[in-house]
Structure formats: C-alpha cells, structure tokens
C-alpha cells in the first residue's frame, strides 16, 4: 500500500493517566488499508526542540470515520506538545509505514504480550484477528493498578490477563512470570511489544518452548521511509531498517 | 515561462534542485510522494567497492534544528549496484548521479571506472568528505595533498561529469575548491556534514557510540551558505550548495550567494515532498519577480 503524507484533524486527546494519552485523528479522505503493526510518522510543529517527526504505532483504526488512534507516552518535548494540541488543529502524518504482524492460521492459539506503552499496536492487532475469527489471549503488564490502560478495550477483543509489578491488580511480577507463560508451548504464536528487555525475555521463553514469536521494535529513526538508514537492527541478513523491514520482526531473524 | 535549466559543462539538468546522497536512497524510495523525474537530479546513496554494514545502532541524535548521523556508508557495494539497483533506476528521466567512496585512491578510481561504463549515469560525486568512516572519506577531503591526488587520479580514469563533494571541516574552503578546479573537476558540491557531538546526560555517555557524527539540517545553513559564497568566489566551475535547505527561500539564498544548483537532504526526512515543493517555490518566486532565468540570480549578492 502506498505511503501518504496527509493532514489529519485532532478530534480528541484523552489522558489515561498522568503520562499516557490517546490521540484521535480524523483524515479528510478514505483511509488506505492499514495492517496491524504499522506506524505513522507524526510531525510536531509547535515544539521548538522537536526537529524530526516521531514514529507511533497505530493503536486503532476506524475506517468508517476515517479515524486513527495513537496511544502515546508524553516523555519528551515532542510528545508533551502533541498531548496539548487543541482539538480541530491539524497535524501531518506520513503513513502507513512498516510491515505488519503475521496473520495466525485458522484456529491457531495466539498470545499477545504487551508492557506499558508497548501495548499500543496490540489493540488493532487483536481486532484485526477477531475479524478472521481468531480470539487471542492477551497478557498486559503494568507497574501498578493505577497505570493500567485500556483494559476494557482489550477485554472486548480476547481473554485478558493483567500482571502488575506490585501486585496491586492481577498477578504480581513481570509478564514473563505470569502463570500463562508457563504453558507458552500451547500457543502457536506469540506477538510482543514493550520495553526491549521485556521483549528479549519473552523471546527467550518463546525459543525455549518452540513458539513462533514476533516482536515490534521502536528504534530511533529520522525518516521512517528507508532512506536515512539510522534505525537499523542487526538481522540474519545484516543491518536492516526497522522502519521498512520492520518494525515487526520474527525473533528468528534477529540476533537476540 | 521561467527557465530553470542548469548545466555542468554539456550535462543538462531540468532544474537546479537535486536530492543529496544518503537522504533519498536510490530515488525509488520516494516514489510514493514525488515523481523523481521532476527532480533536477538524484544523487544516490554513497557507494563503496565492497558491501558495508556501516556503524552500529544508534546512528542518529536529534539536535537543535538538526540532527547528527553516523551511518558509516552502509551500502551493498558496487557489484550489487550494477546488477540490481542500476537496472531499476536507469529508466528515470533525470540525472542519476552516484556518490562514490573508498578507503584508498585505487578504490575511488575503480569505482569511477565501473560507474563510467554505465550509460545512464552521466556523473559521479566524489565523496572525500564523509566524517563517519575510519579510513578514506574526510581524511582525503581535509588534506590538500591527498585531496589533489585523489581528484587527479579519478579525473584521469573518468571522462564524464565529475563533481567533488567538499568537507566543511577545513580552515579554508577556497583552497579545496581551487584544488578541485585545478585538477579538472567539473563542479564542487558543499557542504557535507559538520563534525559534531552530543552527550546523553542520563546515561552519561556520548549520544552516538562512536562519539562524533555529522551535523545536518537548518542548524548548519548559515555555515554552509558562507562556505558556498566563499567557494563560488574562488572558482569558475559551478558550485552546488548543500546544507539545511528546507524551503525555496533557503535554496534561493544559496543561489544568490553563488550556488548554481542546490541539493536537498535532511529536509526529505521531515517532508519527502520538499524537493518538489522547493522547485515550485523557486518557480513562483521568479514569476512573481518577473525574472525569466533563475541563472540571473546566481551570485547576485556580490554585485
């Protein structure tokens, strides 16, 4: 699908907690086909310390309303500015970028594992799977009960498990310590997005149990379209761009 | 109708806006956004004799109004270029120019010879200014003796248009521009990136693993403009201006300072349509001012 540069109207910014917000945008023309795992490069015009675009996973897609949602952590000047843009202002997107998660086989048992803001691409992925009749198990890890986000949304798309580091909701610990991870071999595929140490730990367990595992990387990038060669990751084929060869990689292709 | 035609010797460019090496891939990466045929030229990714993996990640650090990069000439080598890439780009109806890089003079000569046998590549850009490699690159471009030698040897081996890309990391840009002209280069392009650095105060480490990188973007524009002005006064061959050009206004500043053409680079990362917007912007400036030939503006600040 062709990539586009397009202005979107800010429909709504909804804060989920102190740091995270959902940015809902509306395009002026019909959306192109968007695959789960793809991302957009958003230009942030009113942040004087933000020169480059910022890449964000597409969190949800509403084709009927030409709307896209992004789950964003306000962590630097750019994302903080984005989180305070007034409704109806326009922002420019380059999208849809990157590859996508693979589609499970019919009746395949699938597990989605997300941590913190890394849960972002998993909602659209789950909804996408639902359309072909796959209902995934979803394991989301957060710091504590207050930092849990979007659990209502995720629970509509699959069987949801929560784990928190302090045990204030769900099981206590990290995602890799959750009960269902003990039976990872029962799943045909695990899709994972979160902090890199978490993804690496999940990848280790997946390898040990022989489960196919795909991870979504968030390497720093400038262009997002495969020309600057800044976002590379070492793969079995040498250095490849996270933006065009990823962001989703089968762990077999990474030197993890 | 305004005339945007630009020439280096007998090589004609439909307009004076080219895309800079390392910022536009091989041209086809931008096809979803622009028609590459509308560009004055495409300077493709720096090519070396052997395939190169480039430097380790991270390779980029954002800085005020710009960025540092340390890609280190990642490319698949000349053979891959000849066999796989060249057939894909030889149909472009614009000047496709290959940026060549080596560790040794022999490397540059070999590359020039091999590119010289590809019919649809009318020019090479001799990169003696890459700041992100341990051998070759900027080491040639910051030493007058080795700069002269490499340009001389490539000139002997290559009879099409030879553009020499100069480093800003020198005391006298005029000296290097003159050396290029004296050794028979047809044009000089400048500036390559400025050697820079950034520190991450949270990790207490350099932002780039190799400590230094090349600074580009609007942050370097005033420096680039000054150097283009100096180089253009020092030589008669056409000077191609590069450095933080984001808009037609920026491009016109370079032209008025003495550039016969410009290259758009880092701007593509933010807006891949920017090269075509810059062409349109130059055109409308000329129309509004009633100027028929853009070339009337080249170096006009000096008169």
Position B132 scores a pLDDT of 85
DSSP state, residue B30: G
Per-residue pLDDT tens digits for B145-203: 999 999 999 999 999 999 999 999 999 999 999 999 999 999 999 999 999 999 999 99
CB of B265 less than 8 A from some CB of A: no
A242 phi and psi angles, rounded to 5 deg: -65, -35
Whether residues A4 and B32 touch (CB distance < 8 A) is answered with yes
Give the C-alpha separation, B171 to A61, whole Å: 54
For residue A247, say if its preceding peptide bond is cis, omega within 30 degrees of 0. Answer: yes
What interface predicted TM-score (ipTM) does this complex get?
A: 0.95
Please list the pLDDT of chain A residue by residue as tens digits (256 residues): 699 999 999 999 999 999 999 999 999 999 999 999 999 999 999 898 999 999 999 999 999 999 999 999 999 999 999 999 999 999 999 999 999 999 988 889 999 999 999 999 999 999 999 999 999 999 999 999 999 999 999 999 999 999 999 999 999 999 999 999 999 999 999 999 999 999 999 999 999 999 999 999 999 999 999 999 999 999 999 999 999 999 999 999 999 9
Nearest CA of chain A to the CA of B29: how many Å? 7
Position A1 scores a pLDDT of 66
Taken in order B143, B236, B121, A226, is the CA torsion positive or negative? positive
Give the C-alpha separation, B14 to B42, whole Å: 12
The confidence band for B303, taking pLDDT boundaries of 50, 70 and 90, is confident
Quick check: A108 and A130 in contact, CB under 8 A?
A: no
Give the C-alpha separation, B34 to B17, whole Å: 13
Smallest Cβ–Cβ distance between A227 and the set B23, B58, B59 belongs to B23
Smallest Cβ–Cβ distance between B64 and the set A43, A49, A233 belongs to A49
Per-residue pLDDT tens digits for B64-105: 999 999 999 999 999 999 999 999 999 999 999 999 999 999
Angle value at C-alpha B135, between B129 and B141, nearest 5 degrees: 25
CB of B272 less than 8 A from some CB of A: yes
Give the C-alpha separation, A121 to A69, whole Å: 10
The per-residue b/e assignment along B214-234, b for 16 or more CB within 10 angstroms, e otherwise, is: bbbbbbbbeebbebbbbbbeb
**Bigger pLDDT: B133 vs B125:** B125
Position B135 scores a pLDDT of 83
The confidence band for B133, taking pLDDT boundaries of 50, 70 and 90, is confident
Per-residue pLDDT tens digits for A145-186: 999 999 999 999 999 999 999 999 999 999 999 999 999 999
**Does this model's pTM top 0.95?**
yes
CB of A44 less than 8 A from some CB of B: no
Give the C-alpha separation, B59 to B68, whole Å: 8
Residues 6+ apart with CB under 8 A from A64: none
* pLDDT at B236 > cutoff 70: yes
Quick check: B52 and B27 in contact, CB under 8 A?
A: no
Q: Domain ranges in chain B?
A: 6-302
Position B131 scores a pLDDT of 86
Quick check: A24 and A59 in contact, CB under 8 A?
A: no
Assign domain B6-302 to a CATH class. Answer: alpha beta
C-alpha distances out from residue B228 to A100, A104, B6, B178, B231, Å = 44, 56, 17, 13, 5
Smallest Cβ–Cβ distance between B268 and the set A2, A49, A223 belongs to A223
Position B13 scores a pLDDT of 98
* pLDDT at B271 > cutoff 70: yes
Quick check: B209 and B231 in contact, CB under 8 A?
A: no
Whether residues B64 and A51 touch (CB distance < 8 A) is answered with yes
Chain A residues 222-251 with a CB less than 8 Å from chain B: 222-234, 238-239
Strands (E), chain B: 6-8, 11-13, 17-19, 41-47, 60-63, 66-69, 95-100, 123-127, 161-165, 187-190, 194-197, 199-200, 205-206, 212-216, 239-242, 261-264
Cβ atoms < 10 Å from Cβ of A227: 25
Position B62 scores a pLDDT of 97
User: Exposure of B277 by Cβ count < 10 A (0-12 exposed, 13-18 middle, 19+ buried)?
Assistant: middle
C-alpha distances out from residue A46 to A23, A50, A78, Å = 16, 8, 8
CB of A220 less than 8 A from some CB of B: yes
Token pair in block for residue A74: 């306000």
DSSP state, residue B56: P
Per-residue pLDDT tens digits for B5-62: 999 999 999 999 999 999 999 999 999 999 999 999 999 999 999 999 999 999 999 9
Which residues in chain A have Cβ-Cβ distances shorter than 8 Å to B62?
Answer: 50-52
């Amino acid at each position: 699908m062709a990539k586009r540069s397009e202005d979107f109207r800010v429909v709504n910014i909804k804060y989920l907690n102190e740091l995270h917000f959902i940015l809902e945008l509306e395009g002026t023309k019909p959306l192109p086909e968007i695959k789960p795992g793809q991302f957009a490069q958003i230009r942030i015009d009113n942040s004087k310390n933000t020169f480059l675009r910022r890449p964000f996973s597409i969190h949800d897609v509403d084709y009927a309303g030409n709307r896209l949602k992004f789950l964003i952590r306000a962590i630097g000047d750019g994302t903080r500015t984005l989180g305070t843009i007034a409704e109806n202002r326009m922002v420019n997107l380059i999208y849809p970028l990157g590859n996508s998660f693979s589609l499970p086989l019919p009746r395949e048992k699938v597990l989605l594992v997300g941590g913190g803001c890394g849960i972002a691409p998993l909602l659209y992925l789950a909804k996408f799977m639902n359309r072909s009749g796959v209902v995934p198990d979803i394991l989301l890890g957060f710091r504590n009960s207050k930092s849990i986000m979007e659990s209502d949304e995720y629970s509509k798309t699959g069987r949801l498990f929560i784990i928190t580091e302090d045990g204030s909701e769900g099981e206590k610990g990290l995602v890799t310590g959750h009960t269902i991870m003990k039976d990872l071999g029962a799943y045909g595929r695990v899709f994972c997005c979160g902090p890199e140490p978490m993804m690496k730990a999940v990848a280790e367990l997946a390898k040990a149990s022989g489960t196919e595992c795909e991870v979504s990387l968030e390497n720093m990038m400038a262009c997002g379209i495969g020309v600057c060669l800044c976002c590379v990751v070492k793969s079995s084929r040498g250095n490849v761009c996270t933006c065009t060869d990823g962001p989703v990689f089968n762990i077999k292709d990474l030197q993890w | 109708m305004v005339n945007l035609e630009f020439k280096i010797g007998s090589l004609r460019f439909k307009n004076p806006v080219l895309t800079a090496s390392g910022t536009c891939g091989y041209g086809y990466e931008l096809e979803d956004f622009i028609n590459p045929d509308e560009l004055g030229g495409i300077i493709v990714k720096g090519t070396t004799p052997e395939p190169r993996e480039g430097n380790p990640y991270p390779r980029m650090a954002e800085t005020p109004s710009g960025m540092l990069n340390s890609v280190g000439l990642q490319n698949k080598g000349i053979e891959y270029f000849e066999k796989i890439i060249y057939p894909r780009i030889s149909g472009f109806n614009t000047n496709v120019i290959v940026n060549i890089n080596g560790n040794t003079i022999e490397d540059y000569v070999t590359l020039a010879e091999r590119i010289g046998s590809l019919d649809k590549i009318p020019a090479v850009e001799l990169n003696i200014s890459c700041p992100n490699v341990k051998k070759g690159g900027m080491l040639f471009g910051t030493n007058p003796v080795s700069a002269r030698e490499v340009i001389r040897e490539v000139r002997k081996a290559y009879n099409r248009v030879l553009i020499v890309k100069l480093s800003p990391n020198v005391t006298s840009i005029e000296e290097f521009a003159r050396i290029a002209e004296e050794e028979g280069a047809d044009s000089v392009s400048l500036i390559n990136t400025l050697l820079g650095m950034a520190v991450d105060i949270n990790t207490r480490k350099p932002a780039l693993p190799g400590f230094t990188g090349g600074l580009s973007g609007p942050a370097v524009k005033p420096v680039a403009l000054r150097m283009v002005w100096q180089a253009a006064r020092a030589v008669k061959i056409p000077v191609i201006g590069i450095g933080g050009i984001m808009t037609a206004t920026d491009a016109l500043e370079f032209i008025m300072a003495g550039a016969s053409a410009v290259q758009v680079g880092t701007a593509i990362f933010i807006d891949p349509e920017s090269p075509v917007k810059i062409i349109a912007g130059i055109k409308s400036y000329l129309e509004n001012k009633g100027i028929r030939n853009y070339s009337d503006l080249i170096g006009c600040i000096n008169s």
